[in-house]
Amino acid sequence: MSQEISEVNKTDVLEGFEIIIGLEVHCELLTKTKLFCACKNQFGDEPNTNICPVCLGLPGSLPVINKRAVELAMRIGKALNCEVLPSTFHRKNYFYPDMPKDFQISQYDMPINANGYLELPDRSRVGITRAHIEEDTGKSMHLGGSGRIAEASNSLVDYNRAGVPLVEIVSEPEIYSSQQAKDYVQELRQILVAIGASDGRMEEGSLRVDANVSIKPKGSEVFGTRCEIKNLNSLRSLGLAIEYEARRQAELIKEGKSVSQETRHFDENSGRTSSMRSKEEANDYRYFPEPDLVPLDPDTAWIEASTADVVALLPITKRKNLEALLGEEYSSQAALLVGIGLDEFAYKSIEAGADSRLVVNRVINELARDIEQAKQISIEGFVELISLEATNKLSATQSKAVLQEMLSSGGKPVEIAKRLGYEQIDANEIYKVIDEVIANNPAEWERYLAGDDKVVQFLLGQVMRSTKGRANGKEVMQIFAGKQLSN
Ligand code: ADP
Ligand code: MG
Ligand code: ZN
């Protein structure tokens, strides 16, 4: 809420401008071993324990490509509607302590995937320029000061991450707001997790986002100069960094200055971006072909075998399936259910005959509170519960209580309902109780018959008291209304 307010307050400086964003997302692949050696690909291990001559770049060592990494890259390509292409590897040369070889093996002019798109839940499409394979670098840690190298007293380096397989997914500059950028990363993250390519843990650096941001006058065909904000590791930071950066650029332009192309760092504490390096000091990577690796040219059979199940696993497919069952008016609930991973549970329950409105409602409002626990209850039991509610054998309140009991201690809904005293009284008994209540409260009943609808809550309360809550409120109200009408 506070963020929404501050965004509203600050819109003035951006008025008349459009924001243009292109995202580069680095995804660590969920392989057992690294990209070019047999070292473990494992986050959080003791520093410098998963290393060997290959990932340390010792002289004479040779890279051997990890087959699973190539398969996962092709799965990503398929998920992002890319063409899977013959590709080659290059050396990208630079000197940095976390790059023990002084170069990174990456794909350059011939990436494995190109020319795709990602469709967001709101149906907007963002072009995918390329999604190529490369190796991750090691990790340096700067001690003392803020964590940045300038103020550090010591630096440590951990090479466990050096050589971990990455796919870098580069979007076209076709994202137009911080919200759309967040939606894009969220959808991409869901896709990568669904197809088994990534664990999606942004906080552990499994997914890292660089945001290229520029602004231009509304309606202008010419793009403005962009700045690239490096290494955003949460959706929140991504949104805040884009908002801050777009406003910074707008202020420069309003002051008659110009934006210079540079790489910037986002500081989580201050919420500001600051310059890391300008284009003039940009690295010259001296790309050249990697002599120790042959080109990759997967044949059709291998591509098909590795990607055949991808489409069925995609969140967009699951949303569409659920929407087909529920109707388009349920599209936001369908998206929510897919997002929390309870779509299949809802789908199967409805398919088994449970009332779809009640299923969606109970899953979103009750089961979503603890998703792991929710996955423990059987579809059969859930369907049975929903049908007890749909046929008025349980009231909404009772049904929710039974569901909680099913979640916490298991058991069949009918038995739990019995144990909780929710066995409903039969129709004859209800009529008898209602007649008694009317006889005992003649004045209130007269007022009700005369059209005073407020008094009905009192009468209903009396019925509930006599039946110890076993009567179905809806049914009692219907009987009251019938008597009022026929009076
Ligand atoms: P580089 O090789 O320097 O990273 P690219 O041309 O590959 O440059 O672009 C990198 C990213 O920048 C892509 O995601 C692209 O969509 C984005 N981009 C390019 N031009 C702009 C722009 N004017 N505004 C915002 N993003 C842009
Ligand atoms: Mg770049
Ligand atoms: Zn190794």
Tokens 């407020």, residue located: 454
Q: Which atom of ligand 1 is nearest to the CA of 172?
A: 16
Ligand with smallest separation from the Cα of 50:
3
Task: Look at residue 106 in the predicted model and tell me its pLDDT.
Answer: 98
Ligand with smallest separation from the Cα of 259:
1
Q: Are 95 and 327 in contact (CB under 8 A)?
A: no
The CATH class given to the 427-486 domain equals mainly alpha
Task: Look at residue 157 in the predicted model and tell me its pLDDT.
Answer: 95
How many A from CA of 162 to the centre of ligand 3?
8
Q: How far apart are CA 383 and CA 288, in angstroms?
A: 61
Pocket of ligand 1 (CB under 6 A): 20-24, 170-173, 212-214, 223, 226
Q: Are 144 and 205 in contact (CB under 8 A)?
A: no
Tokens 């340096």, residue located: 140
3-state secondary structure of 23: strand
Name 238's Cβ contacts closer than 8 Å, sequence gap at least 6: 178, 181, 182, 185, 209, 211, 232
Ligand 1 pocket, mutate which of 115, 176, 216, 226 (most atoms under 8 A from CB): 226
Taking every pair of C-alpha atoms in the chain, what is the biggest distance, in angstroms?
101
Q: Which atom of ligand 1 is nearest to the CA of 173?
A: 16
Q: Are 225 and 262 in contact (CB under 8 A)?
A: no
How many A from CA of 315 to the centre of ligand 1?
27
Q: How far apart are CA 72 and CA 31, in angstroms?
A: 8
Helix runs in 96-233, H state only: 178-194
Q: Which residues surround ligand 3, an ion (CB under 5 A)?
A: 37, 39, 52, 54-55
Q: Are 203 and 49 in contact (CB under 8 A)?
A: no
Closest CA to 217 of 174, 261, 257, 249: 249
140: left (phi over 0), alpha (psi -120 to 50) or beta: beta
Query: Which tokens go with 307?
Result: 């990607």
Ligand 1 pocket, mutate which of 212, 223, 229 (most atoms under 8 A from CB): 212
How many A from CA of 368 to the centre of ligand 2?
38
Ligand with smallest separation from the Cα of 25:
1
β-partners of residue 168 are: 26, 132
Count CA atoms closer than 13 A to 427's CA, side-chain side: 4
Query: Which tokens go with 210?
Result: 């660089």
How many A from CA of 33 to the centre of ligand 3?
8
Q: How far apart are CA 79 and CA 195, in angstroms?
A: 8
Q: Are 41 and 20 in contact (CB under 8 A)?
A: no
Q: How far apart are CA 110 and CA 397, in angstroms?
A: 60
Q: Are 251 and 282 in contact (CB under 8 A)?
A: no
Q: Are 192 and 184 in contact (CB under 8 A)?
A: no
Q: Are 398 and 475 in contact (CB under 8 A)?
A: no
Closest CA to 389 of 365, 359, 368, 366: 359
How many A from CA of 62 to the centre of ligand 3?
10
Closest CA to 389 of 419, 427, 346, 357: 357
Q: Which atom of ligand 1 is nearest to the CA of 24?
A: 14
Name 461's Cβ contacts closer than 8 Å, sequence gap at least 6: none
Q: Which atom of ligand 1 is nearest to the CA of 23?
A: 14
* Residue 52 burial (CB count, 10 A): 15
Residue type (1 letter), 407: L
- Kindly report the protein residue whose alpha carbon is nearest to atom 11 of ligand 1: 22
Closest CA to 211 of 20, 47, 487, 451: 20
Q: How far apart are CA 354 and CA 322, in angstroms?
A: 14
Q: Which atom of ligand 1 is nearest to the CA of 224?
A: 23
3-state secondary structure of 333: helix
Which residue spans of the chain are classified as CATH 1.10.10? 427-486
Ligand 1 pocket, mutate which of 19, 26, 170 (most atoms under 8 A from CB): 170
- Kindly report the protein residue whose alpha carbon is nearest to atom 14 of ligand 1: 22
Please give the C-alpha separations between residue 407 and each of 68, 271, 377, 402, 411, in angstroms, as whole numbers: 38, 42, 7, 9, 9
- Kindly report the protein residue whose alpha carbon is nearest to atom 13 of ligand 1: 22
Name 270's Cβ contacts closer than 8 Å, sequence gap at least 6: none
Count CA atoms closer than 13 A to 201's CA, side-chain side: 9
pLDDT (tens, 9 = 90+) of the chain, 487 residues, equals 344 445 555 558 999 999 999 999 999 999 999 999 999 999 999 999 999 999 999 999 999 999 999 999 999 999 999 999 999 999 999 888 898 899 999 999 999 999 999 999 999 999 999 999 999 999 998 888 777 777 888 999 999 999 999 999 999 999 999 999 999 999 999 999 999 999 999 999 999 999 999 999 999 999 999 999 999 999 999 999 999 999 999 999 999 999 999 999 999 999 999 998 887 666 789 999 999 999 999 999 999 999 999 999 999 999 999 999 999 899 999 999 999 999 999 999 999 999 999 999 999 999 998 888 888 899 999 999 999 999 888 888 889 999 999 999 889 999 999 888 887 677 778 889 999 999 999 999 999 998 888 899 999 999 988 887 778 788 899 899 888 888 7
Q: Are 486 and 478 in contact (CB under 8 A)?
A: no
**Considering just the CA atoms, what is the radius of gyration of the chain in Å?**
30
Please give the C-alpha separations between residue 211 and each of 22, 104, 127, 295, 296, in angstroms, as whole numbers: 6, 21, 15, 30, 29
Q: Strand 165-171 vs strand 125-135: parallel, antiparallel, or unpaired?
A: antiparallel
